[in-house]
Amino acid sequence: MPSGAERTRGGMRKRRWIIVAGVLGVAAVAAFAVRPYWAGKQVATKGVQRARVVSVDLVKAVKKPIPVDVDAIGMVTPISAVALKSRLETTIVGVHFEDGARVKESDLLFTLDARQIDAQIEQAEANLTRDRAQLAGAERDLRRYGELIGKGATTQVNLDNAKTQADILAGTIKGAQSALDNLKVQKSFTAIHAPFSGRISAANVKIGNFVRPADTAPLATINQMAPVYVTFAVPQRVLVDLRDAMKADTTKVVATIPGSSRSEVGKVAMVENTVDATTGMVTVRGIMDNGNETLWPGTLVNTKLTIRTEVAVAVPTVAVQRSQGGNFVFVIKDGAAHVQPVTVSRTYQGESVIADGLVGGEEVVTDGQLLLSEGTRVEPRSRKAGA
């Protein structure tokens, strides 16, 4: 029969179990009571996640004519350039231009001392006059002997001698005339004129300087300023298309001065007949009107050679994303973003020309791509009509 102490311990254990059971029951009732609240919160959270919308900028892919061009660095060279030199050993007596001025064709630039040549011309003219007088006398004798030989009043020898003398004097006159013409040509060298219009350099001589043909330094130089050449090199891969464009007269060359918005437009004048084997480049020469003298000989310029214009789909370059699988864009359909792989053939003025993947008219994302994945819902922040 249990003692009183054992009965006391058994009663305490029973009370503890009753207390634990009561606490568990209360916890179960409380959990059941808050279950709808937690379930509703989880459902609401999932709904928020499913309903997340990303704001993006959109633009339409546009199919339009796009030039096929090649960029290069070119140099401006004059079509005509001349170094003026003296053909005589004489003295400068006149300089008729300002240094660096624009000159026109046939403008007088330098005058040389011509006094010695003038004297030689006067002497040659006097000799020519004398020889003509002698020839006139010989011809009169020849006519006289011809009349006398018919009457038997002179001999054939006298007639032949008169004819010989007339022929000698005729030859002498031709020689004297040639000498006079040569002196007149020499006289023309004493006035130096501009052979074409252009810009003249500073004069290397002043009035009183002695000049001669053997001088190495020119009196001055003239560069033709309008039109001018722009010479540059392009890859050999564009040579076939370039030659076809030249036949069709559809080439276009734009030369722009670095750091300036000023430019000149022209066309291809010639293509070098060989390709540089070390670089694979071919030299091209464009001709520019340069009426405002925008391009200065010797200037380095940025050139853009347009070979042809082709119709292609273009999107802003910022719309094209890159991954390990290649290039792609996010195309928006029914308010959701979709990954569209594309092939980019080239870029032109901030646009990417799409060779494959787009047909034109699709809306592509230009800003906000970092928050997008396949199927993400989007709302347009802004829409542009086209690239």
Q: Are residues 102 and 75 in the same domain?
A: no
Kindly state whether residue 288 falls inside one of the protein's structural domains.
Answer: yes
pLDDT of residue 110: 98
Q: Cβ distance 386 to 60 under 8 Å? A: yes
Q: Residue 285 and residue 232: Cα distance in Å, rounded? A: 6
pLDDT of residue 47: 45
Q: Are residues 198 and 298 in the same domain?
A: no
Please report, for the domain that includes residue 241, its CATH number.
2.40.30.170
pLDDT of residue 310: 87
Please report, for the domain that includes residue 211, its CATH number.
2.40.50.100
Q: Are residues 337 and 270 in the same domain?
A: no
Q: Residue 196 and residue 224: Cα distance in Å, rounded? A: 7
pLDDT of residue 134: 94
What is the chain's pLDDT, residue by residue, as a tens digit (387 residues)?
455 555 555 556 666 666 656 666 656 655 555 454 444 444 444 444 455 789 999 999 999 999 888 999 999 999 999 999 999 999 999 999 999 999 999 999 999 999 999 999 999 999 999 999 999 999 999 999 888 888 888 888 998 999 999 999 999 999 999 999 999 999 999 999 999 999 999 999 999 999 999 999 999 999 999 999 999 999 999 999 999 999 999 899 999 999 888 999 999 999 999 999 999 999 999 999 999 999 999 999 999 999 988 899 999 999 999 988 899 999 999 999 999 999 998 888 889 999 999 999 999 999 988 989 899 999 998 666 554
Q: Are residues 102 and 202 in the same domain?
A: yes
Q: Are residues 162 and 214 in the same domain?
A: no
Domain boundary among 247, 279, 310: 310
Please report, for the domain that includes residue 347, its CATH number.
2.40.420.20
What's the angle, vertex CA 135, arms to CA 129 and CA 139, rounded to 5? Answer: 150
pLDDT of residue 152: 83
Please report, for the domain that includes residue 151, its CATH number.
1.10.287
Kindly state whether residue 60 falls inside one of the protein's structural domains.
Answer: yes
Residue count of the chain, please give it: 387
**Residue 384 token pair:** 């542009």
Kindly state whether residue 35 falls inside one of the protein's structural domains.
Answer: no
Q: Are residues 92 and 218 in the same domain?
A: yes
Q: Residue 214 and residue 88: Cα distance in Å, rounded? A: 9
Q: Are residues 200 and 105 in the same domain?
A: yes
- Give the 3-state DSSP-derived string for 256-314, with helices as H, strands as E and coil as C: ECCCCCCEEEEEEEEECCCCECCCCEEEEEEEECCCCCCCCCCCEEEEEEEEEEEEEEE
Q: Are residues 263 and 195 in the same domain?
A: no
Kindly state whether residue 25 falls inside one of the protein's structural domains.
Answer: no
Kindly state whether residue 11 falls inside one of the protein's structural domains.
Answer: no
Domain boundary among 187, 212, 242: 187
Kindly state whether residue 149 falls inside one of the protein's structural domains.
Answer: yes
For the chain, what is the domain count? 4
pLDDT of residue 155: 87
Domain that holds residue 230: 70-79+225-310
Kindly state whether residue 74 falls inside one of the protein's structural domains.
Answer: yes
Domain boundary among 310, 341, 357: 310
Q: Are residues 88 and 217 in the same domain?
A: yes
Q: Are residues 87 and 211 in the same domain?
A: yes
Residue 259, CB-side half-sphere exposure with 13 Å CA sphere:
2
Q: Are residues 242 and 296 in the same domain?
A: yes
Kindly state whether residue 248 falls inside one of the protein's structural domains.
Answer: yes
Give the CA distances from residue 329 to residues 73, 163, 319, in Å, rounded to whole numbers and listed in that order: 33, 104, 6
Q: Are residues 60 and 96 in the same domain?
A: no
